[in-house]
């Protein structure tokens, strides 16, 4: 037992935060008055700490084999120091492992399994999410147009940023794939005058958006469907499409079908926005050091990350044209810390909600998992292990005029000025909710 303890002491010395480990049996390693303490109830956690398998340590915390005392920010600072490898670099990139991963991905992403996975995460409790999300309940990266913005302001800025990129106009038909709690639909309807359709696999979100549509007087202009994107059939394609925070649930094997569906549902010449998390490494589809396994087990079962280059490849193969790509990775780090801080400030209320919904043991585990997940993801975006790309694409129309092929035409102006310029007087309606 001496060797793991020595390795543990070596690791602790690397931590920028004074950290103490209380071992099973009462012995301890590290300074007595450290700001962060880990209490180990199981010997197996020693090896995970000594080797930098922080995802395994996270699982031990969720399952109650390890307790921590101190702030989650200090815990993340210590976790980063304990790492022995770069989590963004896949250790298993041989061709046969990648081929196996493709078949596993295909098997995991049937319509039935995707519905189950979405409901596992998003239907945990609407009241729980409401504690730490903004009033629109936007559960994706905010856009801090100015540094002093609050989370609520930055989420509204993000919704408006996407609406501007899509050049939404009154009366246009917008499809929102993975509509969440309806933030994009509601914002676009009330500020840009669109006719909106949203789809989701979450029963809770579906019911919530239905209520919001009625309460805001949007019946007939906005609707939501409880449906898989692959099964959506329409008589007329949409003018514009948004997909915000849904891309991560698709899976590598289903990516060709996903973008082919976007093309099928988008009218020729129209614009589509894919706003999603991308991998920091070129070949990995999850974070290393056990973090990917942690997220898959406790947070997002079935989630897979692709490098932006892979996404762009699939977009091109589907016959869509990428016209603008923006990486807003630091904005997601700031968003996640805002979520984390809001949850940490309301732990008793969060615990009461989850325990009432799921029982004592499962509720406590869920709270521990989300505390680690939000802070851990904030760290991941800060370090560049993951990124967030907004990819704007078109469905080129290729129509003929007077016998001449126009080629790949769309409503995109190939100039970014329209995204950032203030709206002209009398242009787009800006109705307040």
Residues taking part in catalysis = 377
Q: Which helix (H) or strand (E) holds 389?
A: strand 386-394
Using DSSP, state whether 409 is helix, strand or coil: coil
Checking 104-112 for CB contacts under 8 A at 24+ apart, the result is 105/251, 105/252, 105/253, 105/254, 105/285, 105/304, 106/251, 106/253, 106/254, 108/251, 108/302, 109/250, 109/251, 109/253, 109/254, 109/302, 111/228, 111/230, 111/231
> Which residue's structure tokens are 């005029």?
401
18-27 burial by CB neighbour count: b if 16+ within 10 A, else e?
bbbbbbeeee
Question: Is residue 141 within 8 Å of 331, Cβ to Cβ?
Answer: yes
Do residues 381 and 325 touch, judged by C-beta distance below 8 A? no
Q: Tell me phi and psi for residue 56, to 5 degrees.
A: -65, -40
Closest CA to 272 of 319, 214, 218: 319
Which of 423, 428, 342 has its CA nearest to residue 142?
Answer: 342
């Amino acid at each position: 037992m001496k060797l793991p303890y020595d390795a543990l002491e070596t690791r602790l010395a690397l931590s920028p935060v004074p950290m103490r480990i209380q071992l099973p049996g009462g012995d301890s390693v590290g300074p007595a008055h450290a700001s962060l303490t880990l209490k180990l109830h199981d010997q197996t956690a020693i090896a995970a700490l000594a080797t930098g398998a922080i995802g395994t340590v996270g699982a031990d915390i969720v399952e109650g084999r390890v307790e921590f005392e101190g702030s989650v920010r200090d815990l993340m600072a210590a976790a980063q120091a304990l790492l022995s490898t770069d989590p963004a670099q896949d250790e298993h990139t041989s061709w046969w492992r990648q081929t196996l991963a493709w078949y596993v991905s295909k098997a995991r992403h049937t319509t039935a399994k995707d519905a189950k996975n979405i409901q596992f995460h998003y239907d945990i409790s609407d009241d729980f999410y409401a504690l730490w999300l903004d009033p629109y309940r936007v559960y994706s990266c905010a856009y801090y147009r100015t540094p002093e913005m609050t989370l609520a302001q930055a989420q509204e800025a993000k919704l408006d940023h996407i609406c501007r990129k899509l050049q939404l106009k009154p009366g246009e038909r917008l499809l929102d794939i993975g509509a969440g709690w309806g933030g994009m639909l509601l914002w676009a309807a009330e500020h840009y005058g669109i006719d909106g359709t949203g789809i989701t696999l979450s029963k809770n979100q579906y019911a919530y958006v239905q209520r919001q549509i009625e309460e805001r007087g949007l019946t007939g202009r906005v609707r939501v469907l409880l449906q898989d994107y692959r099964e959506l059939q329409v008589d007329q394609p949409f003018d514009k499409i948004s997909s915000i925070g849904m891309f991560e649930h698709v899976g590598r094997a289903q990516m060709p079908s996903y973008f082919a569906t976007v093309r099928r549902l988008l009218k020729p010449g129209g614009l589509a926005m894919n706003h999603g998390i991308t991998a920091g490494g070129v070949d990995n589809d999850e974070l290393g050091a056990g973090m990917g396994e942690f997220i898959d087990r406790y947070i997002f079962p079935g989630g897979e990350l692709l490098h932006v280059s892979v996404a762009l490849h699939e977009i091109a193969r589907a016959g869509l044209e990428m016209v603008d790509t923006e990486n807003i990775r630091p904005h997601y780090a700031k968003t996640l810390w805002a979520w984390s801080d809001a949850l940490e400030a309301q732990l008793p209320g969060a615990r009461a909600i989850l325990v009432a919904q799921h029982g004592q043991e499962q509720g406590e585990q869920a709270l521990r998992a989300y505390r680690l997940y939000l802070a851990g993801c904030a760290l991941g975006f800060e370090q560049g292990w993951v990124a967030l790309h907004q990819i704007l694409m078109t469905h080129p129309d290729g129509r003929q005029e007077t016998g001449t092929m126009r080629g790949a035409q769309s409503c995109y102006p190939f100039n970014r000025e329209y995204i950032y310029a203030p709206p002209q007087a009398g242009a787009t309606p800006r109705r307040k909710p």
